[in-house]
């Protein structure tokens, strides 16, 4: 007996559910729960991570991210404005900067700042300054590109209307174009903050004191200290999610709001 299109669709759907359930069951049966509990989700070691993982590591990750973001955003705005400038050398400098810092792994930039600058100029920067510059200058390249796209997405008529009302170029940019560009780029900008949060783990390259540990370093040190599997890293990972998941939700919220506006 032939199936109707609706019946076929239902069979297809239920067989996919069945497959997913089967995979889950196999994983549960195959996994070594005893070892997992000891080495990955060990409650004693989890308890041992507190309160340091919050008061030191999470706090430092937030501080490094914030420092990097302040520099990244300020420099990013400058790069975006330079890239759409009518002055050609500004455009060249901005393009060169963006291609350079976007093309290099953040790891290399950290090494350059941590070891290159002391070697080249003989000055040892404060760790926080180094973090701020290294994280900020890498993220500025991405943020600059995101902002440039946002500035170009603001309809030309907005600029013309602002100029027609007697605003000069800078006034029109500050009052009309940049605020609208920011609304457009809020979702991708939130993604940049998430990336920055994770890149802050590279701070370990600079050789931090215990009080300066951020989440990843704190987790790795926890592993060496306890000698008992991956549990400290799981705790650190969960702490990253505490930061990044709300940011992701925020980005989705902005996207929805932007979508609701543009549909009208």
Binding region for another protein (CB under 8 A): 155, 157-158, 160-168, 171, 175-176, 179-180, 183, 261, 264
Closest CB to another protein among residues 34, 166: 166
CB of 206 to another protein, least distance (A): 40
CB of 184 to another protein, least distance (A): 10
CB of 163 to another protein, least distance (A): 7
Closest CB to another protein among residues 127, 180: 180
CB of 30 to another protein, least distance (A): 54
Closest CB to another protein among residues 53, 162: 162
CB of 183 to another protein, least distance (A): 6
Find out whether 84 and 148 touch, Cβ atoms under 8 Å: yes
CB of 80 to another protein, least distance (A): 18
Within 10 Å of residue 133's Cβ, how many Cβ atoms? 19
Closest CB to another protein among residues 155, 207: 155
> Residue 177 to residues 86, 144, 151, 189, 198: CA-CA distances in angstroms?
16, 15, 7, 17, 31
Closest CB to another protein among residues 168, 246: 168
Find out whether 155 and 236 touch, Cβ atoms under 8 Å: no
Nearest Cα residue to 151 out of 132, 173, 130, 118: 173
Closest CB to another protein among residues 6, 264: 264
Find out whether 83 and 150 touch, Cβ atoms under 8 Å: no
Rounded Cα gap, residues 235 and 225, in angstroms: 15
Nearest Cα residue to 61 out of 242, 185, 250: 242
Closest CB to another protein among residues 189, 203: 189
């Amino acid at each position: 007996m032939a199936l109707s299109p609706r019946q076929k669709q239902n069979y297809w759907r239920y067989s996919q559910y069945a497959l997913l359930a089967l995979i889950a069951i196999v994983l549960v049966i195959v996994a070594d729960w005893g070892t997992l509990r000891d080495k990955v989700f060990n409650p004693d070691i989890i308890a041992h991570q507190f309160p340091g993982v919050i008061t030191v590591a999470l706090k430092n990750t937030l501080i490094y991210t914030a420092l990097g973001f302040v520099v990244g955003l300020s420099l990013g705005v400058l790069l975006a404005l330079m890239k759409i400038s009518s002055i050609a050398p500004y455009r060249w400098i901005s393009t060169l900067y963006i291609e350079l810092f976007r093309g290099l792994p953040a790891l290399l930039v950290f090494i350059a700042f941590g070891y290159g600058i002391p070697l080249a100029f003989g000055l040892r920067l404060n760790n926080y300054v180094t973090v701020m510059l290294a994280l900020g200058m890498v993220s500025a390249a991405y943020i600059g590109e995101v902002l440039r796209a946002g500035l170009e997405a603001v309809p030309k008529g907005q600029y013309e209307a602002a100029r027609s009302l007697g605003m000069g170029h800078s006034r029109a940019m500050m009052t009309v174009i940049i605020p609208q560009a920011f609304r457009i780029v809020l979702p991708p900008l939130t993604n940049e903050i998430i990336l920055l949060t994770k890149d802050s783990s590279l701070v370990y390259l600079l050789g931090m004191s215990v009080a300066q540990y951020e989440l990843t370093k704190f987790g790795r040190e926890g592993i060496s200290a306890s000698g008992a599997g991956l549990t400290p890293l799981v705790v650190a990972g969960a702490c990253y999610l505490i930061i990044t998941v709300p940011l992701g939700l925020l980005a989705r919220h902005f996207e929805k709001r932007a979508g609701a506006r543009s549909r009208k």
